[in-house]
Amino acid sequence: MTSDTDAPARVTAVAGPLDPAAAEAVRELHRASAAADGVAPLSEQPLLWLTEPEAPVVHLLARTGDDALVGYAQLDVGTTTRVSAEVVVHPAHRRRGVAATLLARAQEETAAVPGRRLSVWAHGDVPAARAAARAAGLVVVRELLRMRVDLEAHPPADAVLPPGVTVRTFVPGQDEEAWRRVNARAFAHHPEQGRMTSADLRAREAEPWFDPAGFLLAEREGQLLGSVWTKVHPRGEAPDAGPEEEVGEIYVVGVDPDAQGLGLGRALTALGLAHLRDRGLRTAILYTGAENTVAVHTYERAGFTRAAVDVMYGPPGQAAPAGG
């Protein structure tokens, strides 16, 4: 006899925001999976997009006969060329084909627009993700490094600003549009960061961790040239953090292409780290594309080393876009 939990999962696609109960079920699934694997399966943006009315996403909900949510995939359908997915399966329901069912449905949704390709992020280079991706005909197309620095062993260097450049903190309600414009220029080749909208920015400003004191803008003659945005993770919530450890993040560093190569990226990184150290933090992390050699070099010079890698799977032959 087959019980409800052994039956193949049913997948429902939802194009709008999830209702509060479904969103909470996904968060619960995410927490259970993170606790079992020691790595969070969904990243920040998909979690914010669960209930965001403007989010360019399709939610895939996999349920068993008793309606329990056993798997979830979020498809970012915001571009015409690529669908990017994150997938999570409840630890108690693995190895029963739930991921394969979700991936097959994701492939179908992707194929609804001719020419689109599917790529899937896996957090942590874990064998199960590699096997599921291989079974779906996907190969590694992009790698995102998580880097880490001990601020006691590597105190931030003194920031040396290019001539005429001054630094001030971000003013909510005033600086959004200028920041969005420079961010889009700095990350023009980046599939996610470069598309950040004013609504995405406002959603982050509404998060409990948001603190303009840790969001620094570099200007010359009133013109924004670049910025560093830091984030302090609540105790125990950063990847690899001990239960009492508060970890800082260099969340976004971006320099306008016209001002790159002048030392601003190095100076802004140093200022962001000094802010985190002055908040009493010992550890800072950041995420960057493994192929973004200028950024990786800048961060290694600031004392960061590689701590982990997230892997994006996609069809063979897909070039890696410049990452951040």
Ligand X SMILES: CC(C)(COP(=O)(O)OP(=O)(O)OC[C@H]1O[C@@H](n2cnc3c(N)ncnc32)[C@H](O)[C@@H]1OP(=O)(O)O)[C@@H](O)C(=O)NCCC(=O)NCCS
The contact set with ligand X (CB under 6 A) reads 186-187, 253-255, 260-266, 288, 292, 294-295, 297-298, 301, 324
**Closest CB to ligand X among residues 130, 195:** 195
In whole angstroms, how close is the CB of 183 to ligand X at the nearest point? 8
**Dist. CA 204–CA 22, nearest whole Å:** 22
176-186 vs 198-205: helix crossing angle, rounded to 10: 120
In whole angstroms, how close is the CB of 143 to ligand X at the nearest point? 13
Containing H/E element for 10?
Answer: strand 10-14
In whole angstroms, how close is the CB of 197 to ligand X at the nearest point? 17
In whole angstroms, how close is the CB of 165 to ligand X at the nearest point? 11
Q: Could you give phi then psi for residue 104, rounded to 5 degrees?
A: -65, -40
In whole angstroms, how close is the CB of 2 to ligand X at the nearest point? 48
**Closest CB to ligand X among residues 49, 187:** 187
To 10 degrees, the CA torsion angle through 278, 284, 286, 290? 130
Q: Could you give phi then psi for residue 38, rounded to 5 degrees?
A: 75, 15
Q: How many CB atoms lie within 10 A of CB 25?
A: 18
**Closest CB to ligand X among residues 202, 297:** 297
73 beta partners? 60, 87
Alpha helical stretches, state H, the chain = 20-37, 44-49, 98-111, 127-135, 176-186, 198-205, 264-278, 293-301
In whole angstroms, how close is the CB of 264 to ligand X at the nearest point? 4
Q: Could you give phi then psi for residue 295, rounded to 5 degrees?
A: -65, -45
In whole angstroms, how close is the CB of 215 to ligand X at the nearest point? 15
**Closest CB to ligand X among residues 98, 186:** 186
**Closest CB to ligand X among residues 10, 301:** 301
**Dist. CA 136–CA 313, nearest whole Å:** 10
**Closest CB to ligand X among residues 64, 230:** 230
**Dist. CA 180–CA 219, nearest whole Å:** 15
**Closest CB to ligand X among residues 59, 204:** 204
Using Cβ positions, the residue closest to ligand X within the complex turns out to be: 265
How far, CA to CA in Å, does 198 sit from each of 101, 126, 175, 194?
35, 35, 10, 12
In whole angstroms, how close is the CB of 177 to ligand X at the nearest point? 19
**Dist. CA 133–CA 128, nearest whole Å:** 9
**Closest CB to ligand X among residues 9, 144:** 144
